[in-house]
Structure 1
C-alpha cells in the first residue's frame, strides 16, 4: 500500500492569480517576476460634488460671529446675515384705523345730573344739610370737537398713559345721599353727577403701511367716578 503525503502550500494573492492562470501544475520557482508600477493619484476634479452628509456626521462649525442656525424674523422668514431693517414702513405691520395720543392731563371736572340742590342756614348755630339724588342718567365721554376714534380705544390709551381707571360711560343712581354741616348764615349747594378727567390729545388715521395722517387736536372729558359737587355761599 502506498501512502500519499499531502503538503500544504501557502500561496500569496499574487501567486494565486498566477496559478489559476496556468493549464498545468506550477510551482513557486516557476512563476514570472511581478513588476510594481507606480501610478500618480488622479487629479482632483473641481466639478465633482461633495457627498451629502450622512446621519451622525458633525456639521462644520460656523465662522466666528455667525450663527449656524438662521434667525427667523417676525414674519416667519429667515433673515439674511448682514442685512439691515428697511427704513420704510412695513406694509403688513399696521391695521388701518383711527388712533388716539394723549398730550396733557388736567384734573376732574363735575358733570351734573338733575337739578341743583341748596339749603340755607338762617340760624345762629351750625345746621345739618342732607342731599338725596333724584335722577338716574348715563354720562359718557365729552369732547371739545367731534371725535373719530373708537371710545374704547380712547379710554384704553388714556388709562395706560396716566395710570387711572376710566369708563366709556357711567350711570348715576337715585337715592344717593350726602350729608354735611352748614355754618350760620351760609347756604350749602349740592349737585349730583359724574366726575370726568380732562385731558388733551389728538386722533389720527393710521394707514396699512404705518404712515400717519393729519393730527386733530381735541380736549376730552372721560368718566372717572360718580359723586356730589358741594359748595357754599354766604
Structure 2
C-alpha cells in the first residue's frame, strides 16, 4: 500500500478519475469566476499551486491568460506535466517551500489550490503557509482554496456527509496501460483527519490489487478564515463561495495593503 499523499498510484489514473467527474472544466470555471470577481485581466499573474496533471492551468492559458505558472508537490504528478504544460513555467515544490517560488518568480495576482488539495497539508503547517502566501501576493492579489463542507456530529467531530466509517464504495472502471481495474474508495476518520483508501481491483484473474491512502485535514471555512486573518488578511477581504455541482466550498482572501 502506498501512503503519505504521494499520488504514486493515483497519478496513473488521475486523468480518468477527474474526467469521470468533469473536474478540470469545473475548476477552470472557478478560476474564471475568481478572475472576474476581482477584476483581474489577461495580463494578471496566476499561480496554480496544486496543478496536479496540469490540465486546469492549461485550460486557463487557453482562455487567453498568458502569465501563468504552476507548481505541485507530487513527483508522480510532475512526471505528467510534459504532456500539458507547454509554454507554462512549472516546477515540483513542496508547499512549505513556496517562498522559494516567490523569490524566483515574483509576486502574483491569483494563487489557487483547487480539487481539495490544500487539506493534504497538516493544520499545524497552515499558519506559516498563509503567511508565505500573503507575502507572495501583489496588492489586490487573491489566494483561493477549496475544502469540504464537513458535517458536525453531536460530539463536535467532523465527517463527510453520507460517508460512514469503513464503507467501501465502487466508483468506476479505470485502465493502467493494458490492465483494467475496478476503482473503489473507503473512508476512515481519526483525530480530525479523514483517510481515503483507494483500491484498484483487477478485472483479470492474473492482475495485482493496488491500494493507496490519501489523507485530508478536516476543518471548516470559519477556522480557515481565522488563520488567514492571523496571517495579515483583513476581515473584509475574506470570502467563501459555493458552486453548483462542486462538492467543496471555495475560501478566498484578498491582500488589501
Query: Shorter-normalised TM-score: what interval?
Result: under 0.3
More helix by share: 2
TM-score where L is the length of structure 1: 0.17
Q: Greater Rg, structure 1 or structure 2?
A: 1
